[in-house]
Structure 1
Amino acid sequence: MDSLAGTQTYYEEADSRRKRKRLIIAVVLIALVLVAAWAAFSAFKGGDAAAGADGAAAAGAPSVTVMVPGRVSVEAVISANGTIAARREMPVGVAGEGGQVVRVLVEPGQWVGAGQTLAIIDRSVQTQQAAGLAASIRVAQADANLAQAELERAEALVGRGFISKADMDRRRATRDAANARVSVAQAQYREAQARTGRLSIVAPAAGLVLTRNVEPGQIVSSGSGVLFRMARGGEMEMMAQMAEADLQRVSVGTRATVTPVGTALQIAGQVWQVSPVINAETRQGMVRIAVPYSSAMRPGGFADARLVSGSSEAPLLPESAVQSGVDGNFVLVVDNKDVIQRRPIKVGEVTDSGVSIASGLTGQERVVVLAGAFLNPGDKVKPVMQKSSQ
């Protein structure tokens, strides 16, 4: 080989050796790249298979609406119904002798003041009687004046011996009798005036006229019964019948909201009397709720009442979240692994806002709101938090 150094053949062989070495290095590098690519592909394929399995499991889990109820103030409400009546009803009739009604001055639904005349009874006879008694007073007074004058003249003569002491005593007695007759006549006159005044039927107190049972021309007397009915001050009440158990939760001063039938009014009132007895047949008692005057509150009508007997802190759920079974009421909750769990509960007050939970929940659980009937304990779910309504 050395003998060929510097020759053309030498340089050709050296160049060939360099090409073979480069080829071998290139083949080795390509092999390494292929091995690395195969390893990466295998790892990627295994990870993708695992992710696909997890994704398939997640995709198969149903979405359910849940809520965290927390704890809110819940009012204990008792519902009742009953009849509307005047709180203090005043029957008005004839207080005097009576007679023929001349005029009726009021109508039902009218407000009147204390002492206001409701109806007038004919008093022509009583007026003449009173006039005669007034004249008798004047006659008696004239006799009394004459007797007094004669007594004074006699006293002036008694000192001269013209009038005896016995005669003076008689004159004094005459004077005293005349004065007494004046007093009797005056008393009779005042009595006649009082009788005449009682012929007017008047309101015993200010209030609202409820009924009128008299017409002009009618003959009335003390036995005619009630001619007018009034509500003193226009005050009304609702007489609500309540179950014995509910009656124990109500006391004087309990707030109430009264709604007359056929209206959407909500009239605020409060209990002013609770019946001390229970009806042995119906097992109910009477609660009387005082309410202010309203044109919708008509005595004899029907009304509903909602009484607030207290309040407490408790979780509040919509009715759709509470389910019932053979063991009682329960709800479904989602645990921290998104698995359905069944939770027994005790239901408290049921209001328009929802159902309060007396026991069984702390208020921090994720409670299934909808589709609970299609789920079973142990099911894997995808919880979706309910949006606030506020």
Structure 2
Amino acid sequence: MFKLPAGKTRWVVLTLVLVAGLAAVFALGLRAPQAPAYVVQAAPLVRTLQFSARVATLSRVEIGSTVTGRVAQVQVREGAQVRRGAVLIRLETDELRAAEAQAVASERQAEATLQAARATLARAEQLVKQNFYSAAQLDEARRAVDVAQAQQGAARAAVVAARARLEQARIEAPADARVLARMVEPGQIVQPGKALMSLALAGPTQLVAQVDERFLDQLQVGQPATVVSDAFASVRFQARVLSIAPLVDAQRGAVEIKFALDKEAPGFLREDMTLSVEVETGRRERALTLPLVLLQEARGDTAEVQVVVDGRVQARTLRLGLRTLVAVEVLEGLQSGDVVLGGKTHTPGERVRPVPQQAWSAVAGATPQGGSAGSALSNAMGR
């Protein structure tokens, strides 16, 4: 029987033991349970808030009549652009013109009375010098002139008032504006204090939104926003946060946010039109991102996760940064390429076979091609 030398026998035995050990390790690896996992990669991370807003102009006014009268003409339609001084409404002027004519006649009569009183005073002064009139008669003539002058002044004021009322029968635009609504038609009787037309004075267009107070810590003046209308969904335009109201509506738990448009407002915008506004509240161009569902024992800006190192489970503490509704930025505790476990909690040291999940990659946006990681929209409307 052939026998190997003693030295060679030891090498053969060692080789067989090594092969058996590797086979055992491989077999154990095959028997290790599978676990869903996520491979950490860097990608853009964007946090946004989305809510509804309405179109609002800086100044909205209602105009009316200062005199009572019947409407003769309404010369503009709703939506019309008007210039300062343009006639919007005309009232019937027959009675007003008659009142003006009467006032003019009264003024002329007062002028004639004054002239007669002055002539009488002149004669009285001559007669007093000739001792034909007494001083008392002279005083009476002077008082008559004073009364006539007062009557003439009152008559002139009446003419001015009558002409002013006649001018007020022509209602004009106080400034360049757009007609939002007209609440009167020809033939109607109007009175002072009644609104006849609503105008949006020309000026920068603003958007106003009521935002849930819970999101105040994410909003700042100057943040960019994208605006779109359901009626014109193909047209998107840019705006910025203009102001954040200092007070919170206690009934709704909401705060008023105003937006200014970056460019001229699109022509289709209408007063009080509802728009969708998406505000970018945070951005990281390159961030290690992780789906929120993988976090364990999250406490403020720290959390625990389970990672796989050499086929075994390890616990890892993370420091977190920017957070969206579905993903979070990892500042410390992970590196690109680390494998984080999801699903059930595993025992540290347990052997597992990680299986990367495409769904989690889509959530966090950490794909080789990049993308917007966790560009989540949160409903920030007031309660």
User: TM-score band, normalised by the shorter chain?
Assistant: 0.5 to 0.7
Structure 1 counterpart of 2:42:
69
3-state SS of 1:142 partner? helix
Candidates 202, 205, 210, aligned match of 1:233: 202
Do the aligned partners of residues 315 and 81 (structure 1) sit closer, same or farther apart at CA in structure 2, a change above 3 Å counting? same
C-alpha deviation, 1:205, in angstroms? 4.0
Q: Deviations over 1:34-87 (max 9, x none)?
A: x9xx99x98xx99x979x979x89x9899x9844439x8866x44333544455
Do the aligned partners of residues 325 and 272 (structure 1) sit closer, same or farther apart at CA in structure 2, a change above 3 Å counting? closer
Do the aligned partners of residues 324 and 185 (structure 1) sit closer, same or farther apart at CA in structure 2, a change above 3 Å counting? same
Q: Decide whether the 8 Å contact of 2:67 with 2:169 is kept in 1.
A: yes
Candidates 268, 271, 284, aligned match of 2:253: 284
Do the aligned partners of residues 96 and 294 (structure 1) sit closer, same or farther apart at CA in structure 2, a change above 3 Å counting? farther
Do the aligned partners of residues 275 and 267 (structure 1) sit closer, same or farther apart at CA in structure 2, a change above 3 Å counting? farther
Q: Which amino acid aligns with 2:80?
A: Q
C-alpha deviation, 1:194, in angstroms? 2.1
Q: Which amino acid aligns with 2:67?
A: G
Candidates 136, 147, 150, aligned match of 1:180: 150
Q: Deviations over 1:151-177 (max 9, x none)?
A: 334435543434432222222222221
Q: Which amino acid aligns with 2:64?
A: G
Structure 1 counterpart of 2:64:
93
Output the CA distance in 2 between the equivalents of 1:134 and 1:372. 95
Q: Decide whether the 8 Å contact of 2:41 with 2:288 is kept in 1.
A: no
Candidates 104, 112, 136, aligned match of 1:142: 112
Structure 2 counterpart of 1:104:
74
Structure 2 counterpart of 1:273:
245
Structure 1, unpaired ranges of 5+: 1-34
Q: Which amino acid aligns with 1:218?
A: Q
In the alignment of these two chains, the number of paired residues is 343
C-alpha deviation, 1:230, in angstroms? 1.9
Candidates 182, 186, 189, aligned match of 1:212: 182
Q: Is 2:62 the partner of 1:81?
A: no
Q: Which amino acid aligns with 1:389?
A: G
3-state SS of 1:149 partner? helix
Output the CA distance in 2 between the equivalents of 1:136 and 1:117. 31
3-state SS of 2:179 partner? strand
Do the aligned partners of residues 157 and 367 (structure 1) sit closer, same or farther apart at CA in structure 2, a change above 3 Å counting? farther
Do the aligned partners of residues 194 and 182 (structure 1) sit closer, same or farther apart at CA in structure 2, a change above 3 Å counting? same
Output the CA distance in 2 between the equivalents of 1:263 and 1:346. 43
Structure 1 counterpart of 2:223:
255
Q: Deviations over 1:76-119 (max 9, x none)?
A: x44333544455432223332132x2111222222234443221
Output the CA distance in 2 between the equivalents of 1:274 and 1:220. 41
Structure 1 counterpart of 2:192:
222
> Looking at both structures, which has the greater relative contact order when contacts are Cα pairs under 8 Å and sequence separation is at least 6?
2
Q: Decide whether the 8 Å contact of 2:42 with 2:286 is kept in 1.
A: no
Output the CA distance in 2 between the equivalents of 1:314 and 1:274. 34
Q: Decide whether the 8 Å contact of 1:78 with 1:306 is kept in 2.
A: yes
RMSD after superposition? 4.9
C-alpha deviation, 1:184, in angstroms? 0.4
Candidates 352, 356, 374, aligned match of 2:328: 356
Higher helix residue share: 1
Structure 1 counterpart of 2:276:
304
Structure 2 counterpart of 1:26:
none
Do the aligned partners of residues 284 and 318 (structure 1) sit closer, same or farther apart at CA in structure 2, a change above 3 Å counting? same
Q: Decide whether the 8 Å contact of 2:49 with 2:281 is kept in 1.
A: yes
Q: Deviations over 1:358-382 (max 9, x none)?
A: 66x356453448x966997866879
Output the CA distance in 1 between the equivalents of 2:220 and 2:119. 72
Output the CA distance in 1 between the equivalents of 2:255 and 2:102. 57
Structure 2, unpaired ranges of 5+: 357-365, 372-383
Q: Decide whether the 8 Å contact of 1:73 with 1:313 is kept in 2.
A: yes
Task: Give the structure-1-normalised TM-score.
Answer: 0.66
C-alpha deviation, 1:330, in angstroms? 6.2
Q: Decide whether the 8 Å contact of 2:321 with 2:330 is kept in 1.
A: yes
Q: Is 2:171 the partner of 1:171?
A: no
3-state SS of 1:275 partner? strand
Larger Rg: 1
Output the CA distance in 1 between the equivalents of 2:282 and 2:297. 31
Identity between Structure 1 and Structure 2 (%):
25
Structure 1 counterpart of 2:164:
194
